[in-house]
Chain A
């Protein structure tokens, strides 16, 4: 390898070789197997399976609930990130670490807990019941679970960006006569917008694939509150491997597009940053 020649450090061949083999065996070949399996279908067959009424309803529920949850997270995540970076209050560091709870808490635990909380006699559900709001076992429940799951993404992507905003810029805006709201809208928001969008996309992408926390609270009614991952599992349980594969390929394709979009967003955010810093070192 050419890299070897230019470097006195040992282990390149071994490290890269091990990396590639491990990556191939564990990730690339199994994912390739999935795609290969779907090629057993003609395109027409594939299309039929991927666009049955039940499948379309599942996409609607999955993407609709994911988008709604991501919007909620973008809004509240911005507020939480702002508060955590800019304001001082007792227990700030504790709350800051606590934001990662959804990453650390197993999804099944989140699922049964949310289902219990929002059921008609649960801690929260019993106050919503009289208002005519049913959350558990409805699509609304899915939104609640996905909001929980995606919560840290927006906060964690925004925090470092808000920390990086130089106070001088805001002070300059203020000395030029801008109100606080104008400063936010014209100076701060444009600076953090790429990160907000990235956080939204991460949260959305995580929600689309989520399974564990949703199935307990969703009710799982076909056509109404059935998410795509669950539909894949129920096909699998009926030994309909081809059907499960077709749906999985659709999901995989969408995940891949989302991954590319997120990479693109991050590149955009980083590049804007570079342009702003022209003249700095490196």
Chain B
């Protein structure tokens, strides 16, 4: 089922949780709502689920108005951050709940319920836990039961609120891949909320980056990572070096005080987008190595350029060639830079798409 969100606004007292948010989610996609806490992502999810009512705007399901549809009529499966399993029911009864509360006419027979629940439990690979109570399960198991319970009513949309937030790293990675496979098998639209960029980039078809109640960017994981639409997205997704620069038309000058002031701007360069060399090349910046550290397959080099710390990531092979040590004189050259006017969005999106001509 496709979901369309039109101009949704939501305030809690003076706090603006969502500010004119529009988004469309085509059928069958797995979408991540990504952002820091308080950015409105959970509120948006709860509005889609009907748990929360928007102050303004519309929610459309499959092209038809659903804004005022009650949560129980929306046919959405909702998975809560802290699972919200019914603590006095065993696993079987938890999953069966949605079937048992159906009106008598639609309610499946007891044997059908049994079969459906056991099928779902084997889908989440926990059929051996049917008689246990929620308190006897580990966090990962609870999460999978919560998912099975949400799927029991055959929802058209699956909504997950920080589904892996309370789990430890190893279980989290496993469940992530498992959710992806499950989504592909079920042929439904799924939306999940997360504050973990790695999670969003790894699992989702599309990532919606949110900040302060607004959508900053919507795109494939690769798009939002390699082509961030705003300084916020740049900084939220991955490490970045920030240079305060000036812009003259399409030309940016980074950190050169003797040039007359143009428009205030900021340049962003990812640590792995910087070339480092031991000899000066044209248009390169002089710097001094302050620290070299090998982290797994990468080598992180911290250099000082005009009093500012710049982070550079190299492959092990490159470091073997260069043999950098602390105190050494080096020259930097960015491969890819993105410049944004200070305090605003991109200077000019059209130009920002390409590599900025840079003058050092």
Contact = CB atoms under 8 A, between A and B. Distances in A.
Interface of A: 5-6, 8
Interface of B: 12, 50-53, 70-71
A8 B68 CA distance: 11
Contacts of B70: 8
A8 B52 CA distance: 7
A8 B49 CA distance: 10
B254 to A, nearest CB: 40
Contacts of A6: 12, 52-53
Contacts of A5: 53
Nearest to B52: A6
Contacts of A8: 50-52, 70-71
Given A6-B12, A8-B70, A8-B71, 6 more contacts: A5-B53, A6-B52, A6-B53, A8-B50, A8-B51, A8-B52
B24 to A, nearest CB: 24
A94 to B, nearest CB: 29
A6 B51 CA distance: 8
Contacts of B12: 6
A5 B51 CA distance: 10
9 contacts: A5-B53, A6-B12, A6-B52, A6-B53, A8-B50, A8-B51, A8-B52, A8-B70, A8-B71
Contacts of B51: 8
B21 to A, nearest CB: 17
A248 to B, nearest CB: 42
Contacts of B52: 6, 8
Nearest to B46: A8
A185 to B, nearest CB: 42
B54 to A, nearest CB: 10
A6 B46 CA distance: 10
A110 B51 CA distance: 53
B53 to A, nearest CB: 5
Contacts of B50: 8
A251 to B, nearest CB: 40
A234 B52 CA distance: 58
A5 B54 CA distance: 9
B299 to A, nearest CB: 37
A8 B46 CA distance: 10
Nearest to B53: A5
List the 5 closest pairs (A to B, CB-CB), nearest first. Answer: A8-B71, A8-B51, A5-B53, A8-B50, A6-B52
A281 to B, nearest CB: 13
B14 to A, nearest CB: 14
Contacts of B53: 5-6
A6 B70 CA distance: 12
A6 B53 CA distance: 6
A146 to B, nearest CB: 43
Nearest to B50: A8
B171 to A, nearest CB: 21
A6 B10 CA distance: 10
A181 to B, nearest CB: 44
B166 to A, nearest CB: 13
A223 B284 CA distance: 101
B313 to A, nearest CB: 34
A5 B70 CA distance: 12
A110 B50 CA distance: 56
A275 B70 CA distance: 42
A224 B132 CA distance: 67
Nearest to B51: A8
A6 B12 CA distance: 9
A208 B70 CA distance: 52
B218 to A, nearest CB: 27
Nearest to A2: B13
A112 to B, nearest CB: 45
A8 B80 CA distance: 15
Most chain A CB within 10 A, of B12, B53, B70, is at B53
A6 B52 CA distance: 5
A259 B353 CA distance: 68
A5 B12 CA distance: 11
B303 to A, nearest CB: 36
A6 to B, nearest CB: 6
A8 B12 CA distance: 15
A6 B71 CA distance: 12
A13 B140 CA distance: 38
A37 to B, nearest CB: 42
A63 B50 CA distance: 57
B79 to A, nearest CB: 16
A8 B51 CA distance: 5
A245 B4 CA distance: 66
A4 B50 CA distance: 13
B57 to A, nearest CB: 14
A6 B43 CA distance: 11
A6 B50 CA distance: 10
A5 B52 CA distance: 8
A161 to B, nearest CB: 28
B55 to A, nearest CB: 8
Nearest to B49: A8
Nearest to B10: A6
A6 B11 CA distance: 10
A282 to B, nearest CB: 14
A39 to B, nearest CB: 39
A8 B71 CA distance: 7
A5 B46 CA distance: 13
B217 to A, nearest CB: 29
